[in-house]
Amino acid sequence: MPDHAEPRDAPDGIANATRAGASRRPVEAVLFDFHGTLAQVEPAHDWVVAAAASCGVSLERMRATALADRLLTAGRAGGPLPARVPPGLAELWADRDLYEHAHRAAYTGLAETVDAGIEGLAEALYERVLVPDGWVPYPDTGPVLTALRDAGIKVAVVSNIGFDLRGHFAAWGLAELVDAYALSYEVGRCKPDPGIFLRACGMLRVDPERTLMVGDTPADAGAAAAGCGVLVLPAAGPGRPSGLGAVLDLALPAP
């Protein structure tokens, strides 16, 4: 239902079932997308300033803002899709979530289409996504993962990505709250392919029909073809609550 839609009265049968406590599918595991669901990339201005500083260049705000806008248009790892992929990068772009080298080469190649006048900036920009400081976990990520762990519900991270996320979760103190990682470049499948969701369920040793996938894009909804329940939430900006509390409403036993 759109945010602005007015609620409608439920048909008598549905209303009666709700009052009687309608049954719902039990959840033994939750699969989470990473970017836009559990964490967000750092603000674009901070990204550019930090990368330039690692190259020995201090950027004033106006220059950093203008450069960030151009780099976002070109394409940022963890950010908006590029406005255009140059033909020379098309193959790397297509394979970016299947191979580490393709992920790095695709995004550094896109950054190099922007003449920033800073030697080594493209590599430095990419390095920011490889370190925990280049990301901001949502404030509700830790509490929700903790609540699931306390309830005995298993958790996996399922991500289309070309690098390892385990160190990020360790740095944020969340590693013990994640039981498995199904990362596209390791699994060899990308969302919405049902195979990556089935692999995650296999890692957790749970039935897909007792599993909930949580993400922020239509690709995450591909889990439905694997038999999982699906919850799609809109991505929030860095540092803002992402609405993950809705997961607990669906996953935890009803009082």
pTM exceeding 0.85 = yes
Which pLDDT score, from 0 to 100, does residue 7 have?
34
- 129-188 pLDDT per residue, tens: 999 999 999 999 999 999 999 999 999 999 999 999 999 999 999 999 999 999 999 999
pLDDT tens digit string along 184-235?
Answer: 999 999 999 999 999 999 999 999 999 999 999 999 999 999 999 999 999 8
SS3 209: helix
Question: What pLDDT shows up at residue 23?
Answer: 54
pLDDT digits (tens, 9 = 90+) for 75-126: 999 888 998 999 999 999 999 999 999 999 999 999 999 999 999 999 999 9
Q: Please tell us whether the domain made up of 12-38+138-251 is placed in CATH 3.20.20.70.
A: no
Q: How confident is the model at residue 15 (pLDDT cuts 50, 70, 90)?
A: very low
Q: CA nearest 230: which of 204, 177, 191?
A: 191
CATH 3.40.50.1000 in the chain: give the residue spans.
Answer: 12-38+138-251
Section 59-76 average pLDDT = 96
The reported pLDDT for the residue numbered 14 is 32
Q: What value does the mean pLDDT of the chain take?
A: 90
Pairing label, strands 154-159, 135-137: unpaired
Which of 21, 14, 18, 33 lies closest to 212 in space, CA to CA? 33
Q: Which residues of 224-236 are buried (b: 16+ CB within 10 A; e: fewer)?
A: eebebbbbbbebb
